[in-house]
Structures are given as structure tokens and as C-alpha cells.
Amino acid sequence: MSEDRTSRLAAAKRAVAAELNKQGTPDYDPRSHERLVEAERKAAEESRPGAAEH
């Protein structure tokens, strides 16, 4: 797994966690959380062994 893909996945996971920590506060945006989860899923797919190089 390349460093770039690993970094993107780690950044996506941090963003999801940060948004999730806002849950129950006025700053929480469920649509933003959904977008971040989708971005994390895509980053995880790209980081899997055998994923096509871009």
C-alpha cells in the first residue's frame, strides 16, 4: 500500500471521527458525516491490496 493511499485513509478516518464527536451538538451535520463516511470508504477501497494504481 502506498504512503499516499495510507495517508488519505488515515486523514479520512480522522475526519469521520471528528464529525462523529460533534454528534449531539449544534455543530453536527449529518449530511457532512455521510459524505465523510463515503470518502473514508473510497479511501479504504483504494488502499486495499490489488487496487488499481491511478
Confidence of residue 53 (pLDDT cuts 50, 70, 90): low
pLDDT tens digit string along 1-51?
Answer: 578 888 999 999 999 999 999 999 999 999 999 999 999 999 999 988 876
**pTM of structure:** 0.78
Distances (CA, A) of 19 to 4, 31, 41, 47, 51: 23, 10, 15, 22, 28
